Structure 1
Amino acid sequence: MRAVCFVVFLVIPVLGQEAVSIRVDASQSIGSFKPIYTYFGYDEPNYTYTRNGTKLIGELAALSSTSVYIRTHFLLASGDGTPGLKWGSTNAYTEDAAGRPIYDWRILDHIFDTYLYAGAKPFVEIGFMPQALSSKPEPYRPTWIPGAANKDYSSGWSYPPRDYAKWEELVYRWVRHSIEKYGQRQVESWYWEVWNEPDISYWHGTSEEYDKLYDYTAAAVKRALSSAKIGGPAVTGPSSASAAAFLRQFLEHCDHGTNFASGGVGAPLDFVSYHAKGHPSVVEGHVRMGIAKQAEDADRGFQIVHSFAKFRDLPIVLSESDPEGCAACSARVYPPNAYRNGTLYPVYTAVMLKSIFELADREHINVAGMLTWAFEFEDQPYFDGFRTLATNGVDKPVLNLFRMLGLMRGDRLKTESDSRISMQTVLDEGVRGDPYVDALAVARDHEISVLGWNYHDDDLPGPSARVRVTVTGLPRNAKRVLLRQYRIDETHSNSWTVWKRMGSPEQPSPEQYAALEAAGDLQQLNSPQWIAVQDAELRLDLTFPRQSVSLLQLSW
């Protein structure tokens, strides 16, 4: 993990406001804190091995002591490997004049080598269709222009194969090559996911044709490595009736449908994937987040999977889980996306993380991953409002949330707040009334971590919250604890604020760039301090600014 800075900063409590009480019971575990946050992805695979892409992959891999997974589109698309917005290619499959396959793994290897060298792992999205196999090969390379209708974006790469046997052989050889290059044990730890969002224009086929694609793909993967993890269908948010219907029919097919590849019953399924997206808007000149939509997507998918006895215990990966649906849609062109540069993005994500755990607990679901679809767009203006984790190598505030999460390990603890908003209210309307001041707490031997926030859907100035955090049930031999406080707010762990104070330079000087890099690190609010414990109980009086995230680490 990168070095952590600390800044001494005096926070003046808000006067005349009753403190919010957050209570953590250190003696009551409610489930494990699975590292569901260690999943990331992006459209453009060729950005992986650019200078800033490689830097960011290394930072992501360093977030956690557990595996970090990376998912990208276009891994099998035809082209010369030149990146572009919402496009990428590897040219893994072509054919000679006689129609004989030619396999070329060089660009794919470059991508996966970058992951593995950094310590990350591929979450392999098997797609899209090579031009030589597409049932509609022309036009092939898409054109995507920000702000335009882009009706022709889903071109030849989004069509079913003209020859399923050749498609199966391509996938089989890809998996075999991966085993030969990286070893069976390594490849066994990867996910292999079939396609992306086949319920919309990423797939110009029917749901039945997707089932056929899945069967042939799964057959290829399992023929190459029977212990490999295969899954799907990576549909859009199941709060949509059409996406829910697609997910349900896919699970029915895997359960008892006729397998297109083998003629048998059902299809192998090792994990289930689908997407969950929010819906921000602009209301009276400010951004209003749509967290209810993302929570509803997650919840509806959990319910559908739980309705299948055969699959309800399978791992579920939300293989895209974001505040909205277009990472390459800059806030400069799409005003509702103006949440992306500052503190609203990380605090929203913290609230969503706790919501996912609560919904999974409620539905008795095995959630394994909550994948953030955000990376780095090479050679774009600084802080141009893309959904990214960094801009030109400068880390944005949201990346520091994941650094906070990487410091948290163990079991989730029972946590209560006077300001907690019920899960049903979040599902029904989001956070539109009083601000949501709450926390997620975890514990392991000799350490408790409390992630706290002050969130509202409306991106408007608001008062800080006076907060009293009470931790009960501490070990009797813990007479004092060491408190470390980390903070993401307007003046901590926030490169965007520093960039604006510089005058928003388009080409920062070397000195300015170094200052921006430092501001992009996770910062401590103040120096660590020892706090006395009385009768196995600890009380902390704190202030949480609006749209901020705080991590309190207690150790003894």
Structure 2
Amino acid sequence: MNCLRLSSLKALLLLPLLGTLSLSAQTITIDANAPTTPFPHFWEEMFGSGRAALVLRQSYLNDLKAVKQVTDFRYVRFHAILHDELGVYNEDEHGNPVYNFAYVNQVYDNLLANGVRPVVEIGFMPKKLAFNPDALHPFWYKQNVSPPKSMEKWDGLITAFAKNLVQRYGIDEVSQWYFEVWNEPNIDFWNGIPRQRSYFELYDHTARDLKAVSPRLRVGGPATAAAQWVSAFLKHTAENNVPVDFVSSHGYADDTVENMFPDDPSVPKDLPMDQRVCRAIGMVRNQMKAAGKPKLPLFWTEWNVPGHNQSRDTTYVGAALANTVRQCDGLVDMMSFWTFSDVFEEGGPGPRPFIGQFGLRAEFGINKPSYYGFALLHQLGDRRIANNSPDIIVTKLSDGSLKIAAWNLVDPDPDSLSKAKPRTLTLVLRGTSASARATTQRVDNEHGNVLPEYAKIGKPDYPTPQQVEQLNRATALPTPEETHLQDHQLTVTLEPNALLLITVTP
């Protein structure tokens, strides 16, 4: 999680979230026989999730299974695999390292048993290996953000860690994982001095340690907050012949322009939030090209929509997600939505459901509107038909049918929502039967939205399993509504922040 956002929230609320206003009525023409381009589902292949120790909890695994069911995601990333709560590192009375990977193995066993592989974020620092044992981050679980007291001992830990994984799971398996060095070293998750140079030293040692265990292990970074350090990182690794298999960074829609684009005066200071993530990804992709690394994979290992007004618990997420997918297509290999679950304790245990946390499922396993938004977008095809509309994605399946996402994105602040109007959209389909069969599914205030249902049962702080089941049953998306084109046309209405999936069978 990027703490840069937290200190700037008041200023962010003064800036526009959205770059464009939805039209109240719009007609869009789609040619079903138009050329297509590949459309990999980069937004749902990886998710973030708190810290490693949570993987040992049944509530976490329940959420993982539920999100896997609707997205079929392949990778998960979390903090603190080396945290002392997993008992990885100790020293005997002579100062010799003692390793224990029992809990680490249980963490990865649980992931693999559920069909998900890790993006291994290597961190944080075991206390007995830390240069400063008291360098504790303010998160509730108090991870140590110090550099190691001995690079030799750090090398030994990373080597033993990697060997344990290869011996337990086999190199054919572990070579399909990714190893990301640390988390957001450009801010308060790393207190090496000077910050950048000391992180580069940590990266150099870690990458070489992993490659010494097996050249098939894939390592990358710099895993920075707000899209920073990428040019310097690639310059450093090239000049020092340090292996890099992928580039990673972070950027949230509510990161400030000053933090994300400090060296680019061409970026307007009031750049709308809905444009910031993909603008930052494009910037990093250009930096990779300038560094002679245009074909390296780019992983955006943390992102989310703006979080004020508890918008992450609302239908806003689905529309904002779709809009981000539209903009980022072709720029990034994987985007990791932070997080899939509100089993998440950076600020301590959640006191109740729906406090604006990041996840797709609220505390106790309650499906949020974002859960259903991801479920709808999962159904999109793997080929895209170009369209100039800023609030539609047109895809094609191998059987020739079309899957079309449409949305009506509105700022989640109360004033904007009070003024927002439904949007009428007419699709004109060419290359199909004039009366082709069509179905629609939607997430809006009346579909897939748990908040009204939660209010009906009195907003309990600790809902019972029976109440959770009742809520999820009440919000489960119904069978798609069936209709037919009328003279090649289909007209639908989208209320503010609705997300609609339309299927057209030629």
Normalised-by-shorter TM-score class: 0.7 to 0.9
Give the Cα–Cα distance (whole angstroms) in 1 for the partners of residues 24 and 462 of structure 2: 46
Give the Cα–Cα distance (whole angstroms) in 1 for the partners of residues 475 and 158 of structure 2: 40
Output the amino acid matched with 1:298. Answer: I
* Cα displacement string for residues 123-156 of structure 1 (whole angstroms, at most 9, x for unaligned residues): 110111111211111254x4447xxxxxxx987x
Name the counterpart of 2:453: 498
* Match status 1:312 vs 2:284: no
* Match status 1:545 vs 2:495: yes
| Contact 2:245-2:296 at 8 Å conserved across structures | yes
Give the Cα–Cα distance (whole angstroms) in 1 for the partners of residues 183 and 217 of structure 2: 19
Q: For 1:96, which of 92, 97, 106 is the aligned residue?
A: 92
Q: Report the 3-state secondary structure (helix = DSSP H, G, I; strand = E; otherwise coil) of the residue aligned with 1:132.
A: helix
- Post-superposition shift, 1:18? 6.4
Give the Cα–Cα distance (whole angstroms) in 2 for the partners of residues 386 and 512 of structure 1: 20
Name the counterpart of 2:246: 271
User: After superposition, where does 1:293-304 map in structure 2 within 5 Å?
Assistant: 293-304=276-287
Output the amino acid matched with 1:469. Answer: L
User: After superposition, where does 1:529-544 map in structure 2 within 5 Å?
Assistant: 529=483, 531=484, 538-544=488-494
* Match status 1:21 vs 2:4: no
Output the amino acid matched with 1:104. Answer: N
* Match status 1:382 vs 2:364: no
Output the amino acid matched with 2:499. Answer: V
Name the counterpart of 1:440: 393
Name the counterpart of 1:211: 200
Name the counterpart of 1:36: 42
Give the Cα–Cα distance (whole angstroms) in 2 for the partners of residues 108 and 549 of structure 1: 39
* Match status 1:130 vs 2:123: no
Name the counterpart of 1:253: 236
Question: Which one has a larger percent helix, Structure 1 or Structure 2?
Answer: 2
Change in Cα spacing, 1:552 to 1:99, as seen in structure 2 (3 Å) is same
Name the counterpart of 2:220: 231
Give the Cα–Cα distance (whole angstroms) in 1 for the partners of residues 79 and 411 of structure 2: 30
Output the amino acid matched with 2:354. Answer: F
TM-score, normalising length: structure 1: 0.76
Name the counterpart of 2:110: 114
Name the counterpart of 1:194: 181
Q: For 1:467, which of 401, 425, 431 is the aligned residue?
A: 425
* Cα displacement string for residues 88-116 of structure 1 (whole angstroms, at most 9, x for unaligned residues): xx221111111121111122122212211
Give the Cα–Cα distance (whole angstroms) in 2 for the partners of residues 107 and 404 of structure 1: 36
* Cα displacement string for residues 267-316 of structure 1 (whole angstroms, at most 9, x for unaligned residues): 111111011112289xxxxxx9822333332232222122122x111110
Change in Cα spacing, 1:222 to 1:343, as seen in structure 2 (3 Å) is same
TM-score, normalising length: structure 2: 0.84
Q: Report the 3-state secondary structure (helix = DSSP H, G, I; strand = E; otherwise coil) of the residue aligned with 1:371.
A: strand
* Cα displacement string for residues 361-418 of structure 1 (whole angstroms, at most 9, x for unaligned residues): xxxx4x211111112236531212222211211111111122122222321111233x
Give the Cα–Cα distance (whole angstroms) in 1 for the partners of residues 93 and 172 of structure 2: 38
Give the Cα–Cα distance (whole angstroms) in 1 for the partners of residues 210 and 474 of structure 2: 44
Give the Cα–Cα distance (whole angstroms) in 1 for the partners of residues 500 and 372 of structure 2: 11
Q: Percent identity?
A: 25
* Cα displacement string for residues 246-283 of structure 1 (whole angstroms, at most 9, x for unaligned residues): 22111101222x3xxxxxxx2111111011112289xx
Give the Cα–Cα distance (whole angstroms) in 1 for the partners of residues 182 and 123 of structure 2: 5
Name the counterpart of 1:77: 83
Q: Report the 3-state secondary structure (helix = DSSP H, G, I; strand = E; otherwise coil) of the residue aligned with 2:105.
A: helix
| Contact 1:279-1:289 at 8 Å conserved across structures | no
Give the Cα–Cα distance (whole angstroms) in 2 for the partners of residues 510 and 62 of structure 1: 20
- Post-superposition shift, 1:480? 5.9
Name the counterpart of 2:337: 372
Name the counterpart of 2:473: 518
| Contact 2:309-2:412 at 8 Å conserved across structures | no
Name the counterpart of 1:407: 379
Q: For 1:180, which of 167, 184, 189 is the aligned residue?
A: 167
| Contact 1:487-1:523 at 8 Å conserved across structures | no
Q: Report the 3-state secondary structure (helix = DSSP H, G, I; strand = E; otherwise coil) of the residue aligned with 1:114.
A: helix
Name the counterpart of 1:5: none
Q: Report the 3-state secondary structure (helix = DSSP H, G, I; strand = E; otherwise coil) of the residue aligned with 2:77.
A: strand
Give the Cα–Cα distance (whole angstroms) in 2 for the partners of residues 533 and 177 of structure 1: 62
Number of paired residues?
455
Give the Cα–Cα distance (whole angstroms) in 2 for the partners of residues 346 and 255 of structure 1: 40
Name the counterpart of 2:268: none
* Match status 1:345 vs 2:317: yes
| Contact 2:24-2:422 at 8 Å conserved across structures | no
Output the amino acid matched with 2:128. Answer: A
Output the amino acid matched with 2:342. Answer: E
Name the counterpart of 1:263: none
Give the Cα–Cα distance (whole angstroms) in 1 for the partners of residues 369 and 255 of structure 2: 19
* Cα displacement string for residues 161-205 of structure 1 (whole angstroms, at most 9, x for unaligned residues): 121122122112222211222222221111111111111111112
- The runs of 5 or more residues in structure 2 that have no matched partner are 1-22, 257-270, 344-348
Q: For 2:210, which of 215, 221, 228 is the aligned residue?
A: 221
Give the Cα–Cα distance (whole angstroms) in 2 for the partners of residues 305 and 280 of structure 1: 21
Give the Cα–Cα distance (whole angstroms) in 2 for the partners of residues 369 and 195 of structure 1: 18
Output the amino acid matched with 2:55. Answer: T
Output the amino acid matched with 1:312. Answer: P
* Cα displacement string for residues 296-352 of structure 1 (whole angstroms, at most 9, x for unaligned residues): 32232222122122x11111001111125xxxxxx8xxxx25112111122112111
Give the Cα–Cα distance (whole angstroms) in 1 for the partners of residues 450 and 388 of structure 2: 32
Give the Cα–Cα distance (whole angstroms) in 1 for the partners of residues 205 and 30 of structure 2: 50
| Contact 1:492-1:519 at 8 Å conserved across structures | no
Output the amino acid matched with 2:39. Answer: F
- Post-superposition shift, 1:445? 1.4
Give the Cα–Cα distance (whole angstroms) in 2 for the partners of residues 30 and 448 of structure 1: 12
- The runs of 5 or more residues in structure 1 that have no matched partner are 1-16, 80-89, 146-152, 259-265, 282-287, 325-330, 421-437
Give the Cα–Cα distance (whole angstroms) in 2 for the partners of residues 182 and 166 of structure 1: 24
Change in Cα spacing, 1:482 to 1:97, as seen in structure 2 (3 Å) is farther
Give the Cα–Cα distance (whole angstroms) in 2 for the partners of residues 195 and 440 of structure 1: 35
Q: Report the 3-state secondary structure (helix = DSSP H, G, I; strand = E; otherwise coil) of the residue aligned with 2:127.
A: coil
